[in-house]
Amino acid sequence: MRSNPIVGSGTSLQAWNTSVHLADLRDIDAAELVADDQRAVIIAPHPDDEVLGCGGLLQQLAELGRPILIISVTDGSASHPGSQRWSAQRLSAVRPQESAQALHRLGLPLHSLQWLRGGFSDSGVAREEPRLLAFLKRYLRPNDVVFSTWREDGHSDHEAVGRASHQAAEACGCQFHELPIWTWHWASPEDSLIPWHRARRLVLGAAQIARKRHAAHAFASQLQGDPDIGLAPVLAPYVLDRLLRPFEVVFL
């Protein structure tokens, strides 16, 4: 895999809008992904990945009445390395609160939503992969449909969580699907590294797009950098533009 592919401003939204592969994707809907007798399990490396990767899918699943379990593997406390303004201690408290607010903004029924926090080390998940695998296997059921970050997404935590989630799903007899997130930063519009043959497009309605955008802006810590040390925001405007398109992509 590429070393540190998440640098600079990445591939622009305008460039992605010219992608022939992206335009040719087959559509899929939430009811096809998760049947009425199945539970959706969203495994997010950091608080915000569940919204940025599949905030539209979450809304559609909730509208269908599907049971949902969200697992936040880490608390995202390493998003601002070296910052005193956004210390790891502060972030470990703030980022889960931001996720709760974001899920509320999506309109999810929080009283019936299951949400687990794994407490694994942000930016160090790969070192704890065996422990994460054992953790996930405790909570998965054979009829679950598991969604996690793509195993080649370009961020070490995203890839480690994807690998562990895939292994846990296989061990527990679950269906498994992957969500590209940082892929849209480093990849090119016709990139052969993307498994286009497995990719499907989930189209979002206008209200779903608006709710997802509103939810994304609940992550105030990620919208701010730290100018004192020259740290740019994790979710800069060009990053959000790529993640708030009127569709989401799932690798089957």
State residue 111's pLDDT score.
78
| Strand residue runs (E) in 45-174 | 68-74, 114-120, 144-149
Confidence (pLDDT) at 190: 97
Residue 58 lies in a domain: yes
| Within a domain: 20 | yes
Kindly report the pTM of this predicted structure.
0.96
Which residue has tokens 């989401």? Answer: 248
What Cα–Cα distance (Å) separates residue 71 from each residue in 12, 52, 138, 163?
A: 30, 15, 12, 15
Decide if 228 is inside a domain: yes
Residue 172 amino acid letter: C
Indicate whether 5 belongs to any domain: no
Please give the structure tokens belonging to residue 77: 């406390």
Residue 4 lies in a domain: no
- For residue 2, the model assigns a pLDDT of 55
Give, for all 252 residues of the chain, the pLDDT tens digit: 456 788 899 999 999 999 999 999 999 999 999 999 999 999 999 999 999 999 999 999 999 999 999 999 999 999 999 999 999 999 999 999 999 999 999 999 877 799 999 999 999 999 999 999 999 999 999 999 999 999 999 999 999 999 999 999 999 999 999 999 999 999 999 999 999 999 999 999 999 999 999 999 999 999 999 999 999 999 999 999 999 999 999 999
Q: Is residue 7 part of a domain?
A: no
The reported pLDDT for the residue numbered 112 is 74
pLDDT at 109: 85
Any alpha helices (H) in 107-236, and if so which ranges? 129-137, 156-172, 183-186, 206-216, 220-223
Q: Does 6 map to a domain?
A: no
Q: Containing domain of residue 165, as a range?
A: 13-251
d(CA 24, CA 128): 38
> Is residue 232 within 8 Å of 82, Cβ to Cβ?
no
Question: Using CA atoms, how far apart are residues 104 and 223, in angstroms rounded to an integer?
Answer: 18
Domain CATH number, residue 101? 3.40.50.10320
Q: Which helix (H) or strand (E) holds 248?
A: strand 247-251
How many folded domains does the chain comprise? 1
Asked if residue 1 belongs to a domain, the reply is no
